[in-house]
Amino acid sequence: MRLKSDRELKTELNNTQFELLVPANNKNTALCAIKAGADAIYIGYSKYGARAQAGNTLDDIVDVIEFAHSFRVKVYITINTILKDEELNQVEKLIWKLYQHKADGIIIQDMGILELNLPPIPLIASTQCHNNTVEKIKFLEKTGFKRVILPREISLKEIKEISKNTNIELECFIHGALCVSYSGQCYMSCKIGSRSANRGECAQPCRKKYSLKDADGKIIIKDKYLLSMKDLNLSNKLEDLILNGITSFKIEGRLKNEAYVINTTAFYRKKLDEILKKYGLKKSSQGIIEYSFEPDIHKTFNRGYTDFYITGEKNDLATINYTGSSGEYTGKVKSVKEKSFIIDNADFNNGDGICFFNAQNELIGTYINKVCGSEIFPSSMDSIKKGTKIYRNYNKKFEDELKNCVIKRKIPVKLRIRQINTGLIFFLEDEEGNIAGFISEYDIAQNKEKALETLNRQLLKTGGSEFVIINTDIKVKTAPFFKISKINEIRRILCDNLRKIRNKNYNVPKRNSKIVICEYPQKVLDYRANIYNKKAEIFYKKRGCEIKEYAFETSPKTKKHAVLMTSKYCIKKQLGLCGNNQYKEPFVLTDECNKNYLVAFSCLDCVMNILSD
């Protein structure tokens, strides 16, 4: 494929609609995300999604699709686990049902799905497919995928290289929890407790405490969260991502609550809209959005933020002293009393949650019982001293504001009224050019000015619908008189008719190409290809692959010295030990159950591997 020029990339940019993609763990969260400004959402069925706890019935998914499409919001369904042979038939039936109910695409990892009888529904390659090279992404594009979800570890330089060499849609994570391992390539949960991350059952071993020893048994660091990453925050990199080829901006968090989803969606909606306006670009959905609150991602759950590897190599990526939410920094303790402390310029509230680091550098939390000016009365004063840095990880006032917030998302429409021989004809038109019409007879009013004012005022009251009239054009010769109840009926009929027309005219996306057999960029495959069923085996063999091993999940207890995790994050770099010969390698990681794991460093590639014993 010929490398695209910068001019061609600019033309693509101007012809692209950009998408804020938001997670939903259930129907209510999905509706909140849509109202708050999502251009698309991703949601899981009761089975086969990479978050087993975030499953939904087909009926709920259908309801979400219908509501989303009224705002031209897309709905992608996650079917991104690896599948057993006996599950494939049900998955095929599910995909057909999703297609019939106008789902906008399916997110998949298991290539066995491509050997099924599929409808022409768009295919999205999950980040768990390990889409880490130009060659792999070219393969997915040729095969028939519409989009690839890029690794969290990717840099702007790599994104630009991929964009110049491919024509496939590129989706990128911009916010939320980070997997320490390359997605789809982590087997620690499966090894430790037979809970497969690739089956949607990750036990999050990365959020556990570990001790690190060298080859001589010398303890380097003890009982710390050595694999627990900070949360991703690319809010200041959105413009760079747009200019380098990203079209879909993904918030992580299908297990998050409604308040989190509302706040992060509203925050990124405002940020993204500012950039799109600057360049004259368009979002992919419709609707004018109003919020009764000011979004702030520092006031919701976070472990501290990082932009990870988006600009290159980084230090201090992990939160080794804690794994919960640290929240926002508020200031230092000025003085302490027996039951209270003084802190300046902190706007605390009764019920706030605060946290701080004790002398052992452990994160301690407590709640605020009472606030008297700058004097704070917490539930516990344990370890709070003069100079202690206080963080607020639960902002009760803000959480209550989110819980009771008012969000309005309305589709702008124009109203026209014309006079004809048989009465008045009303037109309601949206930005796509969809038009609903209604004809009604009327009586002659004595006061034309008052009659038109009443007609206009009542027709503008579209508060109960998804529409808002932003322009009216009334041209009549005589004064029409309608009872208010009749005007309300006309407005309701117009809105109902326009809604039906919009639903009918929604462009259901279809996959343009058939599944193509082309050469896979890797010839020999081991367990990290995640081949878990016969269909997946057939897929790869058709593409010239030799299969040495099947998925780790087929025999997790018998695999010795297997690579359980590959990560660009490096414990040595985190601890400042790069180039330090004080400790003898290989290092050993010991968990809370005294199980040991070898840690191997590939310093030339700046990659860390964790191996089973």
85 and 45 share one domain: yes
Q: Which pLDDT does position 312 carry in this prediction?
A: 85
pTM recorded for the entire structure: 0.94
Examine the fold and report which residue of 504, 531, 562 is the final residue of a domain before the chain moves on.
504
Asked if 106 and 43 sit in the same domain, the reply is yes
Mean pLDDT for the stretch of residues 414-443: 94
Q: Are residues 369 and 463 in the same domain?
A: no
More confident residue, 547 or 604: 547
Is residue 297 domain-resident? no
278 and 320 fall within a common domain? no
**Is residue 520 situated within a structural domain?**
no
Q: Does residue 5 carry a pLDDT above 80? A: no
Task: Mark whether 361 and 414 lie in a shared domain.
Answer: no
On the question of pLDDT at 499 being above 80, the answer is yes
Domains of the chain: total: 3
Read off the pLDDT band of 308 (50, 70, 90). Answer: very high
One domain for residues 415 and 398: no
Mean pLDDT over the full length of the chain: 93
Over residues 439-496, the pLDDT tens digits come to 999 999 989 899 999 999 999 998 889 999 999 999 998 889 999 999 999 999 999 9
Q: Which letter, b or e, does each residue of 252-278 get, where b requires 16 or more Cβ atoms within 10 Å of its Cβ?
A: bbbebbbbbbbbbbbbbbebbbebbee
Q: What is the pLDDT of residues 185-196, one digit of tens each?
A: 999 999 988 899
Q: What pLDDT does residue 55 have?
A: 78
Q: For Cα atoms 114, 95, 54, give the angle at the middle one, nearest 5 degrees.
A: 110
Same domain membership, residue 396 and residue 441: no
> Would residue 530 be called left, alpha or beta, if left means φ above 0 and alpha means ψ between -120 and 50 degrees?
left
Residue 323: CATH number of its domain: 2.40.10.170
In angstroms, the Cα distances linking 403 to 252, 302, 593 are 21, 18, 40
Domain extent, residue 354, equals: 305-403
In this predicted structure, what is the pLDDT of residue 15? 84
Give yes or no: residues 327 and 434 share one domain.
no
Q: What is the pLDDT of residue 4?
A: 65
In a domain, 296, yes or no: no
Q: Give the model's pLDDT for residue 561.
A: 80
41 and 106 belong to one structural domain:
yes
Q: Are residues 116 and 172 in the same domain?
A: yes
- Domain end: 477, 504, 531, which one? 504
Q: With CA atoms as reference, report the closest residue to 572 among 580, 561, 562, 560.
A: 580
What is residue 246's predicted lDDT score, i.e. its pLDDT?
A: 97
Secondary structure of 261-307 in the HEC alphabet? HHHHHHHHHHHHHHHHHHHCCEECCCCEEEECCCCCHHHCCCCCEEC
Q: Is residue 326 part of a domain?
A: yes
pLDDT digits (tens, 9 = 90+) for 103-147: 999 999 999 999 999 999 999 999 999 999 999 999 999 999 999
Query: Does 567 map to a domain?
Result: no
Of the candidates 504, 537, 563, which is a domain's last residue?
A: 504
Distance of CA 300 to the CA centre of its chain: 15
Instruction: Let me know whether 376 and 491 are in one domain.
Output: no
Question: Whose CA is closest to 250, among 469, 42, 63?
Answer: 42
Residues 32 and 54 in one domain: yes
Domain CATH code at residue 161: 3.20.20.60
